[in-house]
Amino acid sequence: MSVSSMVNRATGILRDEGVGGLTARALRKAHRKWGDNAEELNLLADDVADSARVVPAPAGRVVPEGEPLRIGWVVSAPGPASGGHTTMFRFVEALERAGHTCVLYVYDGHGGPAAASEQLIRTWWPRVRAEIRDLADGLGGMDAYIATAWNTAHVLASRGAGVPGRRFYLAQDFEPYFYPRGSAYQLAEDTYRFGFESITVGHMVADELRHRFGVESTVAEFGCDTSRYGVTAQTGRDDVVFYAKPGIARRGYELGVLALERFHRDHPDVTIHTFGIPAKRLPFPAEVHAHLTPDALNDLYNRCGAGLALSFTNVSLIASELLAAGVVPVVNDWPGTRADLDNPHVAWARPTPQGVADALADALRIQRAAGPRALRASVDALSWEPAKQAVVRAVERACARGDAPAEPETATARMERS
């Protein structure tokens, strides 16, 4: 491969998957070359904490409710249009709107700089006013710190013993489920024993933390950005769209491809679209899209009657977006997704290739019978405002209490509880 081709390829990966994606690909290539098939942790060795040895951070100053706070968010390097970062930044914006100052401490578990992440954040989330710092330069000067993923929880636990400030953990998913039972699974699971104050997105995660670890959480209910996604076309909506995330097991990419292959065999006249990470070598014809802006994505939705939004952990945000745009979402059926998606127009699918293919056909029939306006009306009252206010209240009230944070659970206590 020529140098120019290599540069063009790297530029494309950086555009589609961000700094973290480019670095992760380089590491995977090195693993293959040198025969090192180590599990990818996205966490530097010195940043791995141990719940049995975590020293609680000093609580910091007491700030009466209504007075401005300084809040540090420990965030991983984002990719373009990252759904997890989009949700997190909604809460950053809400705290800023409430008069608080937010600082983003960017952590790249591959050792990369924060500068590239800053450009990406300013491009994809322009309403975020927060200062962006490289976490490698250190923490300090905040009233509260919020971990936003399992690796950043380790970073906060391992680096912050001498740094005052309340510790929170925004858990958007039960992240051990991202991995097979192994190193990453165990390290992700240990974060729920660090003693941070838990804020979960949705009830599925809150239920897991309560039942497995005895951790009570503030629940930020799922919402939908109904100002961005809406019905612009009533007819000509016979296509199908698939949120494709190859390489991310919880998104069920392989199952989706198998199902769409069967669906295409039975419905060859239906146009299939994919978006997300560009899908390659599909066994059926498709219009392949990469990351789309919300406006472009809404235009695509309005060409479709059914959308495939698989998720084997917390429910995908795509499902409600599809409904807002007048599309019937096809979702794999299990209690975790039903805990946070209660809508009569969802096509629940048995998670097999034929089960998902059948649900797609059912979804097109449901969409034609109900019509886009009825689907949209079913989520008209769904908004992110209750979730935003729940997060703001949780942070303000904890910082106003001034009591000592919870002690991390010891290994002995864990054994006694189990």
- Quickly list DSSP for 4-44: HHHHHHHHHHHHHHHHHHHHHHHHHHHHHHHT--PPP--S-
71 vs 86, 121, 192, 396, CA distance in Å?
Answer: 18, 18, 21, 10
Q: Is the dihedral of CA 300, 306, 310, 315 positive or negative?
A: positive
The pTM for the full model equals: 0.86
In a domain, 19, yes or no: no
Would you say 334 and 199 are in contact if contact means Cβ atoms under 8 Å apart?
Answer: no
| Span between the terminal Cα atoms of the chain, in Å | 55
Are both 371 and 391 inside the same structural domain? no
- H or E, element range at 198: strand 197-201
Are both 391 and 369 inside the same structural domain? no
In a domain, 233, yes or no: no
pLDDT beneath 50, residues of the chain:
1-35, 409-418
Q: Residue 83 has what pLDDT? A: 85
Looking at residue 149, its amino acid is A
- H or E, element range at 184: helix 183-190
In a domain, 351, yes or no: yes
Q: Residue 60 has what pLDDT? A: 86
Q: Residue 94 has what pLDDT? A: 97
Are both 163 and 249 inside the same structural domain? no
Are both 245 and 169 inside the same structural domain? no
Are both 195 and 326 inside the same structural domain? no
Domain enclosing residue 273, as ranges: 239-377
133: domain CATH number is 3.40.50.11090
Q: Residue 231 has what pLDDT? A: 97
In a domain, 163, yes or no: yes
Looking at residue 253, its amino acid is Y
Are both 211 and 250 inside the same structural domain? no
Are both 274 and 408 inside the same structural domain? no
Q: How many domains does the chain have?
A: 2
Are both 169 and 68 inside the same structural domain? yes
In a domain, 141, yes or no: yes
In a domain, 38, yes or no: no
Would you say 144 and 197 are in contact if contact means Cβ atoms under 8 Å apart?
Answer: no
Are both 211 and 302 inside the same structural domain? no
Residue 415, number of CB atoms within 10 A of its CB:
8
Residue 2, number of CB atoms within 10 A of its CB:
7
Are both 204 and 267 inside the same structural domain? no
| Dist. CA 86–CA 78, nearest whole Å | 10
Q: Residue 303 has what pLDDT? A: 97
Using one digit for the tens of pLDDT, what is the confidence trace for 118-142?
989 999 899 999 999 999 999 999 9
| 3-class SS string, 55-83 | CCCCCCCCCCCCCCCEEEEEEECCCCCCH
Q: Residue 33 has what pLDDT? A: 41
Locate tokens 């897991």: which residue?
Answer: 208
Number of H helices, E strands in the chain: 14, 13
Are both 365 and 395 inside the same structural domain? no
In a domain, 23, yes or no: no
Residue 170, helix vs strand vs coil = strand
- CA-based nearest residue to 359, from 310, 288, 297, 301: 310
Length of the chain: 418
303: domain CATH number is 3.40.50.2000
Are both 117 and 180 inside the same structural domain? yes
In a domain, 81, yes or no: yes
Q: Residue 36 has what pLDDT? A: 54
